[in-house]
Amino acid sequence: MSLLIMIGLFLLWKLELAATLLNLKAFPSEVPKVLEGLMDQEKLDQARNYLRVNARFNILQSTVSLAVLLAFWTLGGFAWLDTLARSFTSSTVVAGLIFLTLLMLGQSLTSLPFEIYDTFVIEQKFGFNRSTPATFIMDRLKGLLLGAIIGLPLAAAVLWIFGNVAHAWLWAWAFVTVFQLILTYLAPTYIMPLFNKFTPMPEGELKQEIEELGVKCGFPLSGVFIMDGSKRSTKANAFFTGLGKQKKIALFDTLVDKSSKPELLGVLAHEIGHFRCGHIKQRLAVGIIQMAVIFFLLGLATDPGGKFSRLLFDAFGVKEISPHVGLVLFSILLEPVSKLLGVLANAWSRKHEFEADAYAAKVTGDKISLGEALKKMTADHLSHPSPAPLRVWLDYSHPPLARRLEALAGK
């Protein structure tokens, strides 16, 4: 079984490499017609260079990550870490938390140099980075603290359920689902402000038209905010937060600065379209079902008397079957499968993006402004104007720019 898992991980790495190389080859040599006026030849060359630099970086990062995993695995790292964690305590739950914490810290330390290089070398070189070293450090410290405050109790509850409750997968799934829904409701008020400043949009024509758009779409807003996205990057975005009647919209300050009022309204109408077309509820329902399947399989992977769990633990050289080790080993086993499932999820998401674009064009009566906003974001972000089909198939949750513009034009 260990050989099959290794082959699966290697084939996944090869597939990503092939998609990256094909994507580089697909980059146009001349400015596409749809971007004329927004991107000159110099900026197109800059976008190509940005893609090339990121491609090399991602290949290196994925290669190192795979090599570290295989080395840790073949050298008996999982069994060693499990023994080390158990040496601190007789409690299986506490030992599990120690095991998971040490593993997560190890992964964080491995990825930290790549994060630093990505932020302060690549993004800095191409004019995107606005993060200071102090902001970068505080973000990581806050992330670790939140992981401890939120993640450890959640992990402890799941480990206890799997170690003490009949039909554990079902109860663990129900608990995690409720926990995530509560977290989604609380995050905009208590978690997101820890990282960014949300300032209420000043009264004025723009705010009034945004609120009128919400009412027109049957989507009343409880708040309109400007987020200091420029604190970390020059890239622009917008998003909705909240559940039920507590729907708020956050506009990156970079988006407000770079967009005309019709373009902003087009982008917001697109986001509203996801709600009005039922995409959010659909994705939530599918996510809950998918999580149920994962927890069911996780139950098989952590069953002390199960044949599958025994094969899995033997493949990684771990003698004693336990929920905390099974959780990690199962996540590794699931990675190639998750990639394939992600292909289906991305195809579904691209369909939703087309539907949201169509909704925005209909409700605003202005498909041109939405198209211009999409063009600006592609040019400003130095995005690939015509990505390779394999890259789109594997990773793109949004359709390529040309396809979205064709759909808006009714072609």
Catalytic residues: 271, 357
Q: Which helix (H) or strand (E) holds 192?
A: none
DSSP states of 290-332: HHHHHHHHHHHHT-TT-HHHHHHHHHTT--S--HHHHHHHHHH
Joined tokens for residue 309: 């769990």
Half-sphere CA count of 211, side-chain side, radius 13 A = 13
Dihedral angle sign, alpha carbons of residues 151, 157, 160, 162: negative
What span, in angstroms and rounded, lies between the C-alpha atoms of 280 and 250? Answer: 17
For residue 278, which of 185, 182, 348 has the smallest C-alpha distance? 348
By the 10 Å C-beta count (0-12 exposed, 13-18 middle, 19+ buried), 228 is classed as: middle
Say which DSSP state 366 is in: -
Joined tokens for residue 197: 């400043």
Sheet holding 223-227, edge to edge: 198-200, 223-227, 248-252, 238-241
Q: Is 353 annotated as a binding residue?
A: yes
Task: Tell me how crowded residue 188 is: count the other CB atoms within 10 A of its CB.
Answer: 21
Q: Which helix (H) or strand (E) holds 99?
A: helix 92-117
Residues annotated in a binding site for Zn(2+): 270, 274, 353
Residues annotated in a binding site: 270, 274, 353
